[in-house]
Amino acid sequence: MTTLLAFAFVLGVLVFVHELGHFLAAKRVGIRVLKFQLGFNPTIASFRRGDTEYGIGALPLGGYVKMAGESPDEPRTGRSDEFLSKTKWQRFQVLIMGPAMNIGLAFVLTAVVLYQGAEVPAYDDALPVVGAVTPGSVAAGADIKPGDRIVSVSDRRVDTWEQFFVAIGSRPNQATPLVIERRGQQFDRTVTPTVAPGKSRFEIGEIGVLPDVHPHIPSVNPGEPGERAGIKPGDVILAIDGEPIIFQGQLVEAISKRPEQQITIDILRGGERLQLHATPERRGQRGWLGVLLADETKSVRPGAVDAVRMSFKRNVEYGGLIFHTVGGLLTRETSPRQLMGPVAIAQLSGESAQLGWIALFGLMSMISLNLGILNLLPIPVLDGGHIFIMALEGVARRDFSVRVKEKMLLAGFVVLMMLMVTVIYNDLTRISWIERLMPWR
């Protein structure tokens, strides 16, 4: 139920904002709006105010604003309040305002989320200098070593670990050129990111390089194996039995799978590297040291002005990534498996809602930005497609016939249906019991 309610809320807000943009722009330029509806037909509730009927449809997967005289095949009365009676500039304003409102909503929601503050990984905005390489990984096979600075991924410069993970994550199973800097010298490597374990649902790539960070010990339980081994609050865990430990999860796993077995722990204390020996106590089937574990994080608490500035920067970066992804789909560099449809959005909405309003608003901002940008693509049926057709008419200095426009809209509809089939198929394969019914998977 939480998933359904969260999905309805997310989609309802995004569609309402989009259609509100068209509605307000139409009213502003004097176009008569016949109907403003959230959800698709059949209409289950409605009321009329002035010339406009406001309604709610039974299928909450969209919405629409119906304007007088907007379709070329509708009978024209010649009234000045019809859509096609307006100038191309006025029609452009109506078409652009839907996507613009979604992009604006993404900007506002991101600023709200950032203003609340958060604990983020300490390495997120650090230079992508390799701290560890996973044995047997793609990076190990490409002779990438600790200390190497990753300069670019697929000819895109990366200056932070966040940028690196996004760039690599978007290229699973694709040959990807890297530029590596080692001791002042740059050289090229080509890697093929594999799908990260636990992230196959959205096919996120990885190559097995990790930042130079380690979990630390905030507190130690008195009398437990950790204290008896000499572990103290503030210690940084570098390795277990010679295996580098980067994240808290790795440390938990290393301890859990060694109950009643002596382990060697490399720690950093006061700038000095020490080696301790401990024997995890058995708790059920798992090992237990009795220490609290935490990853290296930092607090981000921007003021209102900084939150707005950071929101603008982040949405510009994400917008560039969306265009890059669309371009990658056309050149077959991006896997279609990374596309999400309504089922996946519903799942993410439910998961985010369980984490709280801030997480849900963060998801909404990303979906709203995607919705705004994708609606601007020059595909007939979309807002960007209608703008594209008007631009072609402007270049040709004449309006196309109804027959030509119908063929263009039909082509756009076919493209959208192919895309819809792809994303729904992706969504279904992310549901384990349905995927098991697919013998070709």
CA pair distance 429, 346, nearest whole angstrom: 15
CA pair distance 33, 19, nearest whole angstrom: 12
Contact 320, 314 (CB under 8 A): no
Q: In whole angstroms, what separates CA 229 from the centre of its chain? A: 43
CA pair distance 381, 74, nearest whole angstrom: 17
Report the chain's C-alpha Rg in angstroms. Answer: 27
CA pair distance 348, 356, nearest whole angstrom: 12
CA pair distance 136, 173, nearest whole angstrom: 16
Please identify which residue in the block is written with the tokens 């909405």.
349
Q: 333 catalytic, yes or no?
A: no
CA pair distance 303, 401, nearest whole angstrom: 54
Selected catalytic residue, list 19, 70, 203, 206: 19
Residue at 94: amino acid letter: V
Contact 168, 192 (CB under 8 A): no
CA pair distance 315, 320, nearest whole angstrom: 8
Look up residue 60 and give its two tokens: 């909450």
Query: Mapping DSSP to helix (H, G, I), strand (E, B) and coil, where does residue 60 land?
Result: strand
Query: In Å, how far are 99, 126, 322, 345, 372 from 369, measured between CA atoms?
Result: 9, 26, 9, 14, 5
Strand positions, DSSP E, 221-344: 236-240, 243-244, 263-269, 272-278, 281-283, 286-288, 291-294, 297-300
Q: Which residues are catalytic?
A: 19
